[in-house]
């Protein structure tokens, strides 16, 4: 334990970028009744207060989601979308509130006359925004599962936006390092940049956002999709090449979808079906790993690392080829969720130096944007209800464009479509026709909010941000906890590895791969590259005696229990 903590300390101190700004607090907490784990201490406070007042996990989710739209502007949002896996009345469910392509969107909307992608159009313009889903998502969740009044749940976020809150070292760093992006839009510049740089303790007030949240508190989803907020949104989009119309806002719907559910080492894994690739990919990775005996693959050894890498390579290749929005495209769900699929993955696994002799090493497309931001929260209440929620604007601060007068950022989720088959998106992910742009289609996602059940009850509630690395981060947390029987803090916090087929590179965090392992894998000719951050898991484990253990790992993470 001491050794591992020392390792983590070294990792945090020596790596660059925002890992330098991690405060060593709020990381592991224990409680008897409820737990909230997320990327914002203020939002975690809001959530735990709702639970203490008798609210359930769904009430707390609404309050946390809106609070994070204020306190975590990088990714917390009302202008984006996401996925929620829940457990209520002894049954799991999923809620898809992913953005949709506007009705006027079309396959080649981000291509020039020569059918080449127009630089930055799918990420930094008003056309990059899909129809937002967050407000409708939490409104429908509340209607179905909420127990406290909607207004009461939105109120804390209004307070935080109106009166401001002291920003953390982490948020100051994030804002300062995004000054260039945020300065391109006058409203974003006014709200989120400073002539001098931000520092910890500065108060961030967001008056227009508080007014928008007030309208949402009073009118529910209509406070966003109709009336003044909708007018301000459409007005903002009309200043550039925005595609969204009032009709899109009127027609936007969320979906309760049948979860992906599979057994794994005596547990049941519940995760998100398409349009997220998360659940299917977790099935492929975990069920393949389940075929091997851990004692033959000591954790962290070259054998373990190669096996994990090879399985992920195969799973991500299939993701690119076959997955898209099931409401519009045919997605071979049953073929994926079969034993035959696992056998096909296992057939593709190369052992030892087979990789060096392989002819079909895929080209390294050499493109991987390091800046990424999404956010996950996990909540468990005293009634046994659970929520695992991941939502996002896509990149940090979305497109960097704030809706004037309404104070919220627009997402740039359209980039998650395959804007041109074979061309990698911001996460280096390749897609094909199944994920091409079509009107009202949802873009494929990697978000993987997950609840693992033991004896039919929530045991591990986990998820992560990290673009394409979300899936591998969540898979590693579950694999370590259950197969390697690690404590939850280690399962969540140990440095991670990642492979996504293309680029053909094994990514690793500092400390994830020993010198020996690296040398062995290099002798098998695996291209390898260190990355600062691979995901940021937030999880809750329930011990056999019912204690809730909340663990947040990096960034601005906060875990609260009572």
Question: Where does this chain bind ligand DON (CB under 6 A)?
Answer: 372-374, 392, 394, 413, 416, 445-447, 465-467, 470
Instruction: Tell me how far, at minimum, the Cβ of 299 lies from ligand DON, in Å.
Output: 25
Question: What angle (nearest 5°) sits at the alpha carbon of residue 401, between those of residues 254 and 17?
Answer: 95
Instruction: Tell me how far, at minimum, the Cβ of 71 lies from ligand DON, in Å.
Output: 17
- Contact between 110 and 122 (Cβ < 8 Å): yes
Query: Exactly one of 374, 375, 392, 561 is catalytic; which is it?
Result: 374
Instruction: Tell me how far, at minimum, the Cβ of 497 lies from ligand DON, in Å.
Output: 17
Nearer to ligand DON, 288 or 394 (CB): 394
Instruction: Tell me how far, at minimum, the Cβ of 470 lies from ligand DON, in Å.
Output: 6
Residue located via tokens 């969320």: 254
Nearer to ligand DON, 168 or 468 (CB): 468
Instruction: Tell me how far, at minimum, the Cβ of 429 lies from ligand DON, in Å.
Output: 8
Instruction: Tell me how far, at minimum, the Cβ of 192 lies from ligand DON, in Å.
Output: 18
Nearer to ligand DON, 270 or 473 (CB): 473
Q: What share of the chain is helix, strand, coil (3-state, %, to 5)?
A: 40, 15, 45
Contacts 24+ apart (CB under 8 A), 382-386: 382/33, 382/34, 382/51, 383/56, 383/57, 384/87, 384/90, 384/457, 384/458, 385/56, 385/57, 385/58, 385/86, 385/87, 385/88, 385/145, 386/57, 386/86, 386/87, 386/451, 386/458, 386/461, 386/540
Instruction: Tell me how far, at minimum, the Cβ of 373 lies from ligand DON, in Å.
Output: 5
User: Which residues make beta-bridge pairs with 452?
Assistant: 269, 460
Nearer to ligand DON, 81 or 220 (CB): 81
Enclosing H/E stretch for 122 = helix 121-124
Euclidean distance between CA atoms 283 and 464, whole angstroms:
17
Euclidean distance between CA atoms 30 and 380, whole angstroms:
12
- Contact between 535 and 474 (Cβ < 8 Å): yes
> Which one, of 62, 65, 218, lies nearest residue 140 by Cα?
62
3-state DSSP assignment of residue 497: strand
**Strand 457-463 to 450-454 pairing:** antiparallel
**Strand 528-530 to 506-508 pairing:** parallel
252 contacts: CB under 8 Å, gap ≥ 6: 100, 131, 132, 133, 136, 225
- Contact between 497 and 11 (Cβ < 8 Å): no
Instruction: Tell me how far, at minimum, the Cβ of 536 lies from ligand DON, in Å.
Output: 8
Euclidean distance between CA atoms 138 and 134, whole angstroms:
6
Nearer to ligand DON, 208 or 416 (CB): 416
Is 374 catalytic? The answer is: yes
Structure tokens at 57: 């996990």
For the chain, the maximum distance between any two Cα atoms, rounded to a whole number of angstroms, is 64
Please give the positions annotated as active site: 374
């Amino acid at each position: 334990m001491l050794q591992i903590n020392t390792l983590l300390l070294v990792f945090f101190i020596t790596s660059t970028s925002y890992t330098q700004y991690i405060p060593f607090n709020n990381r592991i907490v224990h409680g008897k009744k409820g737990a909230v784990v997320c990327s914002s201490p203020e939002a975690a406070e809001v959530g735990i207060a709702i639970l203490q007042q008798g609210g359930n996990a769904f009430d707390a989710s609404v309050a946390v989601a809106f609070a994070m739209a204020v306190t975590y502007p990088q990714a917390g949002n009302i202008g984006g979308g996401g996925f929620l896996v829940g457990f209520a009345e002894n049954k799991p469910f999923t809620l898809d509130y992913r953005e949709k392509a506007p009705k006027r969107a079309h396959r080649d909307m981000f291509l020039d006359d020569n059918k080449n992608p127009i630089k930055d159009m799918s990420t930094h313009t008003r056309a990059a925004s899909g129809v937002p889903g967050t407000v409708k998502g939490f409104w429908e969740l509340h209607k179905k599962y909420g127990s406290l009044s909607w207004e009461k749940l939105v109120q804390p976020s209004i307070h935080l936006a109106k009166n401001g809150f002291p920003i953390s070292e982490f948020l100051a760093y994030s804002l300062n390092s995004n000054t260039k992006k945020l300065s391109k839009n006058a409203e974003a510049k006014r709200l989120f940049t400073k002539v001098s740089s931000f520092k910890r303790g500065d108060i961030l007030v967001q008056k227009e956002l508080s007014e928008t949240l007030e309208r949402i508190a009073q009118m529910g989803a209509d406070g966003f999709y109709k009336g003044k907020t909708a007018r301000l949104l459409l007005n903002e989009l009309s200043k550039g090449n925005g595609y969204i119309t009032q009709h899109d806002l009127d027609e936007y719907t969320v979906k309760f979808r049948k979860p992906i559910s599979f057994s794994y080492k005596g547990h049941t894994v519940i995760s998100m079906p398409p349009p997220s690739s998360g659940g299917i990919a977790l099935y492929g990775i975990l069920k393949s790993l389940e075929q091997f005996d851990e004692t033959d693959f000591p954790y962290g050894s070259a054998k373990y690392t190669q096996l994990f890498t090879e399985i992920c390579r195969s799973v991500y290749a299939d993701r690119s080829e076959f997955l898209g929005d099931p409401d519009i495209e045919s997605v071979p769900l049953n073929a994926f969720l079969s034993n035959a699929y696992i056998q096909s993955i296992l057939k593709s696994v190369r052992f030892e130096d087979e990789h060096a002799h392989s002819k079909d090493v895929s080209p390294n497309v050499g493109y991987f944007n390091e800046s990424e931001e999404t956010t996950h929260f996990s909540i468990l209440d005293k009634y046994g209800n659970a929520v695992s929620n991941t939502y996002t604007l896509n990149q940090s601060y979305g497109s960097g464009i704030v809706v004037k007068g309404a104070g919220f950022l627009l997402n740039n989720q359209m980039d998650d479509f395959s804007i041109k088959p074979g061309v990698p998106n911001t996460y280096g992910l390749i897609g094909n026709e199944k994920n091409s742009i079509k009107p009202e289609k949802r873009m494929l996602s990697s978000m993987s909010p997950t609840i693992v059940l033991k004896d039919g009850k929530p045991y591990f509630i986990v998820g992560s941000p990290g673009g394409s690395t979300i899936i591998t981060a969540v898979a590693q947390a579950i694999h370590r906890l259950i197969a390697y029987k690690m404590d939850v803090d280690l399962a969540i916090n140990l440095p991670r590895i990642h492979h996504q087929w293309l680029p053909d590179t094994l990514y690793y965090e500092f400390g994830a791969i020993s010198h020996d392992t690296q040398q062995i894998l290099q002798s098998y000719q695996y291209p390898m590259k260190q990355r600062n951050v691979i995901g940021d898991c937030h999880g809750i484990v329930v011990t056999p005696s019912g204690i809730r253990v909340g663990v947040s790992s990096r960034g601005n993470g906060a875990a609260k229990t009572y």
